[in-house]
Amino acid sequence: MLRKITINWNKLADFRVLENPFPNPERIFSGLDDINPETFLDFLDDIGLVGMGGSGFRTSEKIKASIGAHTLVINGVECEPGITADQSVLLNDSLWVAAGANACAKAVGATKVILATKDGGISLDDLNKRYGEFSMERFAAKYPAGAEKLILKQLTGKTPPPGLRPYQWGYLIQNVVSLRAIGRAIIDGIPVMERPLTLTMPSIGFYKNAVIPVGLTIREVLEVYKISFDPSTHLIADSGLMMGHEVSLDDVIEKTTLSLFILKRDSAWHDERPCTRCGTCNTACPLGLHPYSLVERIKKDKVSSAAFKAQMTECFLCGVCSAVCPSDIPIVQTLKEGKKCL
């Protein structure tokens, strides 16, 4: 997480537009007509699909574990502040998203597909025109509403116990961009070679959603858009402010790159002050964890107890605890370190 950010998100990249400033890749596969679990799992590995919502895990393994699920959820509850790329994909690439969703549902045997989106985003009218075959469910436009556990909680009305995976309750939850990639491969025979993302530089009023080739350097992306970047005054934040990290011009676009924000350095960094035991981080954690006591344990290397490990397993590094901390303590960075003991 990039600490406290004072960005005015009153302006966002327009999700009605999804630019593609690069040449269309050539067809590589013949596509896929027959969706059955075996061929589909191999197909997902062949196209190189990993969780494009940010997890980066092999999608074939998730689908394999989810065989027998009754419901597929299309996760369009994009909630990282400042990112609108998922909504742009939902609106502009519905053919691919729907094809990917139907293929996943068929592969696991799901009989119901739910499109999960957030309040205040794309209108239900626009969604119904494109995804009328699916059920609709709205979620609060509040970070981290798009986390799988919170989606599961709203859909079932029950709090998932620690360690539960959605498939254990019969759900497969797939991010919109992963489904787009599946649809693109099935229909066009193109593997995962491109990444829709939000690109913004608020200081010059630049806000866009665009499809960028995977593997391109950030320098090359900025050259295409004629954005000049001075590392002494600005930083590049990859994949949001809550779960993302700082990158350099020589880093490349990954399959999991959700966004690139070019921000003034003085808006992104605040000095850490001592913990006042105010408890705000505990109250804010969406999973009811106790972030600062976890941090204390990690710092004192008291990481062997089952209770500690259970809380660390649950934590999905959403960064809410860091964001609310009035002392600007980078809690989530320490939690990230703590995950290494699992």
- 186, 191, 192, 194: CA torsion to nearest 10: -100
How far CA 219 is from CA of 51, 85, 108, 118, 181, in Å, comes to: 25, 20, 41, 33, 25
Q: Does 89 bind ligand SF4 (CB under 6 A)?
A: no
Region binding ligand SF4 by CB under 6 A among candidate stretches 78-86, 106-114, 162-170, 320-328: 320-328
- Measured from the CB atom, the residue of 19 and 328 that comes closer to ligand SF4 is 328
- Measured from the CB atom, the residue of 74 and 335 that comes closer to ligand SF4 is 335
3-state secondary structure 176-231: HHHHHHHHHHHHHCCCCCEEEEEEEEHHHCEEEEEEEECCCEHHHHHHHCCCCCCC
**Smallest distance, Å, CB 140 to ligand SF4?**
16
d(CA 324, CA 312): 19
* Cβ neighbour number for residue 19 with a 10 Å cutoff: 16
**Smallest distance, Å, CB 298 to ligand SF4?**
12
Query: Which helix (H) or strand (E) element contains residue 99?
Result: helix 94-108
**Smallest distance, Å, CB 269 to ligand SF4?**
17
- Measured from the CB atom, the residue of 158 and 299 that comes closer to ligand SF4 is 299
Are the C-beta atoms of residues 40 and 108 closer than 8 Å to each other? no
Of 134, 143, 167, 316, the residue at the interface with ligand SF4 (CB under 6 A) is: 316
d(CA 214, CA 207): 20
Site for ligand SF4 in 296-315 (CB under 6 A): 315
Contact pattern from residue 280 through residue 299 relative to ligand SF4, giving x for each residue in contact according to CB under 6 A and a dash for the rest: xx---x-x-x-xx-------
Contact pattern from residue 57 through residue 86 relative to ligand SF4, giving x for each residue in contact according to CB under 6 A and a dash for the rest: ------------------------------
- Measured from the CB atom, the residue of 264 and 290 that comes closer to ligand SF4 is 290
**Smallest distance, Å, CB 126 to ligand SF4?**
31
Q: Does 15 bind ligand SF4 (CB under 6 A)?
A: no
Site for ligand SF4 in 227-286 (CB under 6 A): 275-281, 285
127: Cα separation from own chain's centroid: 20
Residues 6+ away with beta carbon under 8 Å from 29: 46, 47, 185, 189, 190, 191
**Smallest distance, Å, CB 284 to ligand SF4?**
6
Find the radius of gyration of the CA atoms of the chain. Answer: 20
Are the C-beta atoms of residues 44 and 144 closer than 8 Å to each other? no
* Beta partners for residue 113, in sequence order: 72
Q: Does 2 bind ligand SF4 (CB under 6 A)?
A: no
**Smallest distance, Å, CB 186 to ligand SF4?**
35
- The structure tokens listed for 25 are 């890749």
- Measured from the CB atom, the residue of 15 and 292 that comes closer to ligand SF4 is 292
- Measured from the CB atom, the residue of 252 and 284 that comes closer to ligand SF4 is 284
Of 190, 202, 331, 334, the residue at the interface with ligand SF4 (CB under 6 A) is: 331
Q: Which residues bind ligand SF4 (CB under 6 A)?
A: 275-281, 285, 287, 289, 291-292, 315-321, 325-327, 329, 331-332, 335
